Amino acid sequence: MDTSTRSLRTAPLLLLLVGCAALTTPQGERYAPGAGQVRWATAARDFVAGSPASTRAFVADDLLGAPDYRREPDTGYAALGHGGSVVLDFGDHPLIDGPGMDLVVIEIGPVSSVEPVTVEVSSDGARWQMVGSTAGQRSTLDLASTAKAGDRFRFVRVRDAEAGLSKDTAWPGADLDAVGALHWSDAR
C-alpha cells in the first residue's frame, strides 16, 4: 500500500477524532454544531393560560420534543393565550452558554400575526434570569449576557409578550411549537 492510499484511509478517522474533541469539553459539556444536535424540552410545567385563553390548542405537552406542528389536524403546538406562560424542563441536558446562539424558540402562525415572547432561564425553577425576547416565528437567543462560567439552566420560562396581534382570534398570544437547547451539558 502506498502512502497516498494510507492517507485516504486514515483521513476519516482523524476527522472523527478532531470532531469529537471539538464537541466535548473535559467537563462533559457539549456544543451542538447543527440542527441535528438540538436538545428539545422534555417536560412542561406550570402552564398558565393567558387572558383571553385559547379555545383551541392549549395542551402544553404538545410543544415538547422536536417541532411537529401540523395544520391539518390542528396539533403539535400550544397557544399560550394573551400573557400566558409555560415552564419547560430540559432534565439531564441543561442549557449552557456556548459560542453564538444557545436557545431556539419556534413560534407558529401567519407572518402578519406572529407573537413575540419573553424568555427566562433558571437552574432551580425558583430564581429566574431574563434572557431576552423574540420577534416570533423561529428565533434564537444567546445566554452570554445572562450566564456566568459554569452556569447550567435546567428550566426555560416562555411568556407571551402581550403584543395583542392575535388577541381576537381562537389562538390569542404566542403559539409555541418547540423550544430547544443549541448548547447543553451532559455533566451531572
Q: What angle do CA 40, 41, 46 make, to 5 degrees?
A: 160
Do 45 and 9 share a domain, yes or no? no
The answer to whether the beta carbons of residues 60 and 86 sit under 8 Å apart is yes
C-alpha–C-alpha distance, residues 162 and 101, integer Å: 25
User: Which domain range does residue 112 map to?
Assistant: 32-185
pLDDT tens, position by position, for the chain (188 residues)? Answer: 444 333 333 333 222 222 333 333 333 344 443 434 889 999 998 888 888 777 666 667 777 888 877 666 667 778 888 898 999 999 989 999 999 999 999 888 766 677 889 999 999 999 999 999 988 778 899 999 988 888 999 999 999 988 766 666 666 788 888 999 999 988 55
Q: pLDDT value at position 154? A: 96
Q: pLDDT value at position 77? A: 78
Do 152 and 79 share a domain, yes or no? yes
Do 63 and 125 share a domain, yes or no? yes
Cβ neighbours around 4 below 10 Å, total: 7
Cis peptide before 73 (omega within 30 of 0): yes
Q: pLDDT value at position 176? A: 86
Do 57 and 9 share a domain, yes or no? no
Do 5 and 19 share a domain, yes or no? yes
C-alpha–C-alpha distance, residues 128 and 185, integer Å: 19
Q: pLDDT value at position 168? A: 67
Using CA of residue 163, residue 60, residue 99, residue 94, what is the dihedral sign? positive
Q: Looking at this protein, which amino acid is placed at residue 140?
A: T
* Cα maximum dimension of the chain: 73
Q: pLDDT value at position 28? A: 38
Q: Do you know the residue count of the chain?
A: 188
Q: Looking at this protein, which amino acid is placed at residue 118?
A: T
Query: Helices (H), strands (E): how many in the chain?
Result: 1, 12
Q: What is the CATH number of the domain that holds 83?
A: 2.60.120.260
Q: pLDDT value at position 81? A: 84
Number of domains in the chain: 2
